[in-house]
Amino acid sequence: MSSWNHVSRIWLIVTETPTLNAPQKQAIFRPEVYEVNTVQQAMSVTVTAEAGTSTEERWEKETAFLLEDIGRHLELDQETCVLDYGCGVGRLSKALIDEYGCRVVGVDASKSMRLLAPEYVLSERFTVWSPDVLAKMVAKGFRVQRALCLWVLQHVLDPAEVVQLIGSALSDGGLLYALNQLTRCVPTNLGYVNDGKDVEAELDKRFDILNRSSLPAEVTTPQIAQASRLAVMRKPEAPAE
Ligand SMILES: C[S@@+](CC[C@H](N)C(=O)[O-])C[C@H]1O[C@@H](n2cnc3c(N)ncnc32)[C@H](O)[C@@H]1O
């Protein structure tokens, strides 16, 4: 499973319109962009200021929408344990625990996010693991009925691997709520690049899609709404042997 040291040596092909005989540009994966020193910095790199909006405004309005929408689709209560894959500093983990009283296992590849998240979430109902620990726990039988993955899959080096890991942590029939940008946006030494990988196709391979929409423009900017894709999915039941 990915850890920063391992993946940072892998090269990406940047998808630019190739001209005959012109060498393709290559970019080096730079996930260290998610290593931060403070909660404030974590907020700024995970929910970025964009044209027409700020980190603070997105944090407030988008989080309020997601809290309600996730609660409605995933039907959370005190008995539920939710996997928040790519939890960052725990924006939704905290909101979900405070509102629904559920338990949350946050997973993030950034060590500093994992160190800062408990400080931000401030709840005994929150635990945070690295992707490697999640994979080991899954191998030992750890499963959840509910998972979310918000603004993560467009940034990971290998979406197929991450979708597989999330799927392996869900019980059969379990629900996944995902929010992504429609185009890939991978952090590299050349800035954020689109490597052309198809996140939706990876999700379609492993999940039944129950609902597909985008963020409503009222809770963000028209540009972010248009570039977003929300999906609620179910992990299919394993066929009876
Ligand atoms: C844009 S932020 C979103 C954070 C959070 N989901 C939210 O909406 O506030 C992306 C997060 O995914 C994490 N991340 C990136 N690649 C990952 C991977 N392969 N496995 C787990 N987390 C990853 C980053 O460290 C970062 O915290």
Sequence ranges of the domains in the chain:
48-183+197-234
Report pLDDT digits (tens) over 198-220: 999 999 999 999 999 999 999 99
Residue nearest to atom 1 of ligand 1 (CA): 46
**Positions in the chain short of pLDDT 50:** 1-13, 15-16
Q: Ligand 1: distance of its center to the CA of 155 in Å?
A: 8
Whether 86 lines ligand 1, by a CB cut-off of 6 Å, is: yes
Residue of 7, 34, 48 to test ligand 1 pocket, by largest number of atoms within 8 Å of CB: 34
Whether 62 lines ligand 1, by a CB cut-off of 6 Å, is: no
Q: What is the pLDDT of residue 19?
A: 56
Q: Ligand 1: distance of its center to the CA of 20 in Å?
A: 36
Q: Is the pTM of this model over 0.95?
A: no
Angle at 115 between CA 110 and CA 119, to 5 degrees: 130
Report pLDDT digits (tens) over 149-193: 999 999 999 999 999 999 999 999 999 999 999 999 999 999 999
Residue pair 1/28 in contact by the 8 Å Cβ criterion: no
What atom in ligand 1 is closest to the CA of residue 2? Answer: 19
**In this structure, what are the phi and psi dihedrals at residue 159, rounded to the nearest 5 degrees?**
-60, -35
Whether 114 lines ligand 1, by a CB cut-off of 6 Å, is: no
Q: What is the pLDDT of residue 240?
A: 77
Whether 162 lines ligand 1, by a CB cut-off of 6 Å, is: yes
237 CB neighbour count, 10 Å cutoff: 10
Whether 88 lines ligand 1, by a CB cut-off of 6 Å, is: yes
Q: Ligand 1: distance of its center to the CA of 39 in Å?
A: 14
Q: What is the pLDDT of residue 8?
A: 45
Alpha-carbon distances, residue 8 vs 89, 154, 188, 222 (angstroms): 22, 17, 9, 34
Residue nearest to atom 18 of ligand 1 (CA): 109
| CATH fold for domain 48-183+197-234 | Rossmann fold (3.40.50)
Owner of token pair 């001209």: 19
Q: What is the pLDDT of residue 6?
A: 43
131 dihedral zone (left: phi>0; alpha: psi -120 to 50; beta) = alpha
Q: Order of strands, edge to edge, in the sheet holding 228-234? A: 126-129, 103-107, 81-85, 144-150, 170-181, 228-234, 208-213
Whether 109 lines ligand 1, by a CB cut-off of 6 Å, is: yes
Residue pair 97/210 in contact by the 8 Å Cβ criterion: no
Enter the tokens of residue 39.
């909660």
Residue of 94, 155, 197, 199 to test ligand 1 pocket, by largest number of atoms within 8 Å of CB: 155
